[in-house]
Amino acid sequence: MFITSERGHGKSLATELAHDGYTHVIAVGGDGTLHEVVNGIIISDNPNCVVGLLPAGTANDYAKNFTLEKKLAPLIHNLNAKTSTKVNLGKITLSDNTAEYFINIADMGLGVDVVQRVNRSKKLLGSNLTFTKAILESFFHFKNQEVNVKTSDWSWEGRINSLVVANGKYFGSGMCIAPEADIQGDNFAVVIIGDVSMRDYLNHIGKIKRGQKIDHPEIYYHRANFLEINSAHGIEADGEYLGNNPTSIRLIPKKLNFLANQPL
């Protein structure tokens, strides 16, 4: 077992382990830890190394796409059975041409503010209350942002509360923001929450948690495998803040071997 000591250590450690010939690297933590391990494996010379997850983080949203438990026995069973599934990744290219991969969800707008608040908190309230508190605090400070999105099939321009590019279905500690997302599909599920008010958002949180699509004139559901985004604001992925002004997000189909049975 190896223990990470700082942000980014999971990525470098995963790369070293893959270089050393390990066939499996198991992330013990949440979506942020998994994010680092995935990026470390992908840039190694052994990208076929299988990535596993023992959910032990704040949100564990990617695990909800499977039947992953916070127990060792199912993990060991999958290891012994050599069970793995090919899953999609997303690739974000930032304005400085640096690239970052994500396994679950990337988003702009309110989610960035929420993630930064959660990561600064001591998380003493538990995952759900920590995220709910961060969302409510963000609403009092966050201002909807201008964004321009282009794909091969559609485009969108205006003020957003949130722009979600979803590989997995869940974010924000169990909110099913993209019920039609498919981690083995041909496209991202793209959810645009436009110029909505705090009251609008709060009125629909229950439906989001239940995985229901929302019928609202400022909420749009699209699909795409490549997006060009022009914005002066930041982006986060898998609960990790990445930086400002992404230039593109591309689907990389079935890029990673993930230690699990077929997704739900």
184-199: per-residue pLDDT in tens? Answer: 999 999 999 999 987 8
Share of the chain above pLDDT 70, in %: 97
* Residue 57 CA from chain centroid, whole number: 14
What does the alpha-carbon distance between residue 83 and residue 76 come to, in Å, rounded to a whole number?
10
Pick the CATH number of 9-92 from 3.40.50.10330, 3.40.50.1820, 3.40.50.720, 3.40.1190.20: 3.40.50.10330
Report the CATH fold assignment for 94-252.
Answer: Tumour Suppressor Smad4 (2.60.200)
Q: Tell me: the pLDDT tens digits for 7-60?
A: 889 999 999 999 999 999 999 999 999 999 999 999 999 999 999 999 988 779
Name the pLDDT band for 1 (thresholds 50, 70, 90).
Answer: confident
pLDDT of 67:
79
**Mean pLDDT over residues 64-79, rounded?**
87
Q: What is the mean pLDDT of the chain?
A: 91
Give me the residue spans of the domains in the chain: 9-92, 94-252
Q: In what order do the strands lie in the sheet with 240-244?
A: 219-224, 188-193, 162-166, 105-109, 234-237, 240-244
Which residues 6+ apart lie within 8 Å of 253 measured at CB? 88, 184, 186
Q: How confident is the model at residue 128 (pLDDT cuts 50, 70, 90)?
A: low
